[in-house]
Amino acid sequence: MKASATLLLALAATTAQVRADAAVGSDVISLTKDTFSEVAQKPLSLIEFYAPWCGHCKALAPEYEKAATELKSSVPLAKVDCTEQTELCQEHDVRGYPTIKVFREGEPSEYKGQRTADSIIGYMKKLALPPVSELSADKVKEFAESDKVVIVGFFEDKASDEYKAYEAAANKLRDTFLFGATTEEEAFKAQRVKAPAIVLFKKYDEGKNTFDEKFEEGAIAKFVQTVSVPLMDEIGPENYGYYMESGIPLAYLFVSTPEERKTVGKDIEPLAKEFRGKVNFVYIDASKFGGHAKNLNLKESWPAFVIHESEKNLRYPFDQANKLNAADVKAFVQDFVNGKLEPSLKSEEIPTDNDGDVKVVVGKSYPDIVLDKEKDVLIEFYAPWCGHCKALAPTWEELGKEAKKISDKIVIAKMDGTENDLPSDAPFTVQGFPTIKLVKAGDNEVVDYAGARTLESFIDFLKENAVNGGGAEKKEAKEGDDKKTEEEGHDEL
């Protein structure tokens, strides 16, 4: 506890100096390039990079202010206006608003909490503590009730291998969870545990879970990450990222009325516990987020159920022609877990006329066109609403004509990423638009295109990288020249 007290005192002592820079009446410090390092170099601080016109930033502002007021004696909260401090924001790789970063003595890391005052306060308080807080027997109950999720370890000896594994797991997860430990016999008796033991306390579902596996860092971390997830919570913008980062497939139950939640939801909720650790279950309010159904290959008809394997971006919708009931949904989820389900492939119809300079690819035709081993295929994944895609379109059409002059075995293609899915075995996912990939002839190796979106740059890229673009011959010639140069510049002994 001394370590955490020392850190909090140090933070409090250094915070006062920069409070004068904060706006009048605000506990959030406004930073410029001249004052940034003063806050970022502190033992612990939180900095928001924002734009005044950003809607999400405006929504965050009152929550951020509340958190700043609560934490002002220990952890400074600051903000940078990226419309005025452009270079500073570029230096810190700010690509969207708001971007929130934690700084420890100048070292940044991503803020992974929710954008609410309570979440920010809890998150930063955790970071101000050591990975594992030492607890006396009379403090265990109070500590266990101090947050929504708290983990307490009970050990006879801090030098034991079990404690070391617990401490390692705590250090790995310290940004998200609060860990404590006690070595006092009185605490063991009060909690009715036999050391070594680990108990996760939570303010929902069962109330607590006890670790019952081998004391290894990985097993402990997995236990915490698994049982800390609510059995069936409602998903929204504030916790969507948490579920995506878990890496566990997510089962959505779309409901549009309280009645659907009471009937269908209560029928399916027990499955969340049965498949815990393999599939996470959530409710999603179809009246607010019904549009997300299309992203998951569902029609906007409720209630509806779908499993999303986010790491591969694969969707498994339950047949909407059938009524949802616990028995059928259980069988469906079990088949998914056993690898018996085929993912849904969204695809437009194959165009009847596809003889243009740029080939149109849809989900159904992807293997035939893009994976043609005789040809190199440079494909653009686009969205009809994407401004950058619209700006690229004339150049892409021109490239279709020019590529034929290099080789008739180079194909320029495009695919609407909003209406078509990649095959389940594709070695990549599309995260934004436009995304441009070269799928090479022969082994279908995929090469990312990250150059300028100009005709000249695309042509140079194809000549350098396409199997049929002359790149192989160039490479062999260059290697020959390098070998010759090496031989000419080498003195034999």
Instruction: Give me the active site residues, please.
Output: 54, 57, 386, 389
Alpha helix locations (H) across 140-227?
Answer: 140-144, 161-172, 185-191, 217-227
Which 3 state secondary structure label does DSSP give 341?
coil
Q: List, in order, residues 6 or more apart from 283 with CB less than 8 Å away.
A: 232, 233, 234, 235, 253, 255, 261, 265
Residue written as token pair 């002059």:
405
Q: Please report the sign of the dihedral spanned by the C-alpha atoms of residue 243, residue 244, residue 245, residue 248.
A: positive
Q: Residue type at 212?
A: D
Q: In 10 A of CB 299, how many CB atoms?
A: 10
- Ramachandran angles phi, psi of 168, nearest 5°: -65, -40
Residues 6+ apart with CB under 8 A from 379: 361, 370, 412, 413, 414, 415, 436, 437, 438, 439
Biggest CA–CA distance in the chain, Å, is 89
Q: Quote the CA–CA distance of 438 and 378 in Å, as a whole number.
A: 4
Q: Where are the alpha helices (DSSP H) in 213-322?
A: 217-227, 240-246, 258-260, 266-274, 286-289, 292-295
User: For the CA atoms of 107, 109, 113, 115, what is the dihedral angle to 10 degrees?
Assistant: 80
Classify residue 489 by burial, with Cβ atoms within 10 Å: 0-12, 13-18, 19+. Answer: exposed
